[in-house]
């Protein structure tokens, strides 16, 4: 599993002109689920995200997790292109992406694990989405975990 997380002051996702998820201060998550990923990887990354100290404290140091903030939220977007590899040629290779049916199940597990700690909004799995965000910082991280 590979995720990109961004600290945002606001973000939203639209599908076919309708907003399906919208947050204020929080974390925008793009997640790519790969062949071989299990609930263990999904749980590990969800726990890592909610405990990651990426929000400023009173001294403006990254010392607070999203769980320590009032009214913070997560916007979760499934993005299979994160499972691509671009080693040769000019066309991305998506063979490492998990088949959609299984990936959707793990994506839902991922969101439910996040929701144990913080409010979760999300896009629609497999849909073409328009994502709008205001990156706070900018603060962006990549988290990967394979083979727990």
pLDDT grade for 118, boundaries at 50, 70 and 90: very high
Percentages (nearest 5) of helix, strand, coil residues in the chain: 25, 40, 35
At residue 74, does pLDDT exceed 90?
yes
Could you say which DSSP state residue 57 is in? Answer: -
b/e string for 34-47 if b means 16 or more Cβ within 10 A? beebeeebbbbbbe
Q: What secondary structure letter does DSSP report for 34?
A: B
pLDDT at 148: 57
pLDDT of residue 19: 98
Percent of the chain with pLDDT over 90: 87
State pLDDT tens for residues 6-52.
999 999 999 999 999 999 999 999 999 999 999 999 999 999 999 99
What are the backbone dihedrals phi and psi of residue 73, each rounded to the nearest 5 degrees, phi first?
-140, 170
pTM over 0.85: yes
Residue 139 CB neighbours (<10 A)? 15
> Helices marked H in the chain — which ranges?
39-51, 100-115
pLDDT (mean) for 82-111: 92
Mean pLDDT of the chain: 94
* Catalytic (active-site) positions: 79-81
Reported as a pLDDT band with limits 50, 70 and 90, residue 103 is very high
pLDDT at 111 over 90: yes
| Residue 60: DSSP 8-state | S
pLDDT per residue as tens digits for the range 131-148: 999 999 999 999 997 755
CA dihedral 101→97→82→103, nearest 10 degrees, is 20
Show the CA angle centred on residue 57, arms to residues 145 and 119, nearest 5°: 55
Query: What is the rounded average pLDDT of the residues 83-103?
Result: 90
**Lowest-pLDDT choice from 20-24, 74-78, 82-86:** 82-86
Give me the sign of the Cα torsion angle 146, 31, 51, 116: negative
Six token digits for residue 46: 């969800």
């Amino acid at each position: 599993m590979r995720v990109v997380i961004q600290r945002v002051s606001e973000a939203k996702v639209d599908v076919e002109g309708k907003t399906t998820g919208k947050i204020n201060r929080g974390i925008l998550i793009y997640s790519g689920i790969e062949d071989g990923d299990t609930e263990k990887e999904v749980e590990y990354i969800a726990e890592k995200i909610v405990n990651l100290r990426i929000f400023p404290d009173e001294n403006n140091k990254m010392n607070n997790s999203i769980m320590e903030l009032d009214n913070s939220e997560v916007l979760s977007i499934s993005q299979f292109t994160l499972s691509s590899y671009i080693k040769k040629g000019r066309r991305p290779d998506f063979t490492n992406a998990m088949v959609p049916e299984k990936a959707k199940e793990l994506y839902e597990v991922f969101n439910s694990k996040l929701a144990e700690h913080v409010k979760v909004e999300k896009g629609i799995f497999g849909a073409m989405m328009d994502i709008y965000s205001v990156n706070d910082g900018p603060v962006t991280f990549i988290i990967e975990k394979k083979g727990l």
